Structure 1
Amino acid sequence: MFFKKKKNLEYYVKRGLRVGNNVECYSLDGIDALFPWLITIGNNVTISTNVQILTHDSSTYFVGAHTRVGEVNIGNNVFIGTRCIILPNVSIGDNVIVGAGAVVTKNIPSNSVVAGNPAHVITSYDHFKEKIMTDRKSSYIIDKKCINNWECISDEEKLNIREKIKNRYCYLG
């Protein structure tokens, strides 16, 4: 288990957050601190930066009801992109990619890629994987050892990379 802010993990786990193996969470600030015991995160999950995982909805209080509360279950092999919002009473299946900025308002089926507000299925996980792996075969690959160490690439090589990826993606290898 790998959390970028390890000091906060213990706080949430002591309050019942359930976390599987091989989980990367790049910010814990968005995990609902009132009801962390209603959140389950499966194995092989990446939660990007500025993701909000909510287990309560206080807007109901303002219309005369008490605060509404619901579980959030995140399956295995899930990637949640930056700035996503996961609302209460939602389950995300296995093998799911949630695109950046998505607002998850209802259950997401296994083996799907979702995006948008509200989040909706845009393709299957397998189709996405096939498309990416095919694209990767003909794309420029940057050595991943250079991540956060761009001094290992000369300015000339950086310009060369920019030319090679003009109007297309490259990948880190």
Structure 2
Amino acid sequence: MKIINFLRARFRKYLNEEQWLSDHVKAGLRIGIGCDINPGLMVDHSHCWLIEIGNYVTLAPQVYLLAHDASTKSYLNYTKIGNIKLEDHCFIGARSIIMPGVTVGKNAIVAAGSVVTKSVPENTVVGGNPARVLTTTDALMQKHRELMKTAKVYGEGWRIQDNMTPEMKLQMFKELENQLGYVV
């Protein structure tokens, strides 16, 4: 019975998130096609019409998109607001925060846990708090292509959605001890 209750709660959570996102779209949030939006996305409800998500954008779990900053309210009696634009094919890492007035350019990558207070040029990788430029997207991908030549690479069938067996999971765990790998 505990498992059934757990699954019901999980299913309800995803339905609620989908409904919640739909409410933001009705209020003006713009989302392109082919986006991969993971659970826990926090969209600034009070200013969601100032947020635009391009095509094929990936938002990892628990990303925050804040189109307002109320730190000025008690001093100026005004809240700072600004557009957020996530351009096509960008990637926003888990628990990153995108602040008002920020554009993340095409093919840019924001590392997990970053606080982005300034716009990110296209084909750029940023990370940190505050986020700063680390490298270019092309240079990072070239580095990973080189690493893949000697790393363990897992193809089709090696993802949770492919119904991996417990033996496969254990094998992957052991093979990745003290090293990174890549999965399709």
The reply to whether TM is greater than 0.5 is: yes
Q: Higher helix proportion, which one?
A: 2
Poorly superposed stretches of 4+, deviation over 6 Å: none
Distance in 2 (CA, whole Å) between partners of 1:26 and 1:76 is: 17
CA RMSD of aligned residues (A): 1.9
8 Å contact 2:41–2:59 — kept in the other structure? no
Q: Which blocks of at least 5 consecutive residues in structure 2 are unaligned? A: 1-13
State the 1:137 CA deviation: 2.5
Q: Which residue of 2 aligns with 1:152?
A: 165
Distance in 2 (CA, whole Å) between partners of 1:161 and 1:26 is: 24
Which residue identity is paired with 1:171?
Y
Q: Which residue of 1 aligns with 2:11?
A: none
Asked whether 1:166 is paired with 2:143, we answer no
Q: Deviations over 1:47-75 (max 9, x none)?
A: 01111100111111111331111110111
Q: Which residue of 1 aligns with 2:60?
A: 48
Which residue identity is paired with 1:152?
T
Asked whether 1:71 is paired with 2:87, we answer no
Identity %: 35
The equivalent position to 1:36 in structure 2, one of 45, 48, 51, is 48
Distance in 1 (CA, whole Å) between partners of 2:173 and 2:159 is: 16
8 Å contact 2:30–2:49 — kept in the other structure? yes
Asked whether 1:9 is paired with 2:21, we answer yes
Q: Which blocks of at least 5 consecutive residues in structure 1 are unaligned? A: none
Q: Which residue of 1 aligns with 2:3?
A: none
User: Greater shift after overlay, 63-72 or 76-85?
Assistant: 63-72
TM-score, scaled to structure 1: 0.88
Distance in 2 (CA, whole Å) between partners of 1:8 and 1:144 is: 33
Distance in 1 (CA, whole Å) between partners of 2:106 and 2:159 is: 29
Structure 1 pair 160/151, CA: closer, same or farther in 2 (3 Å)? Answer: closer
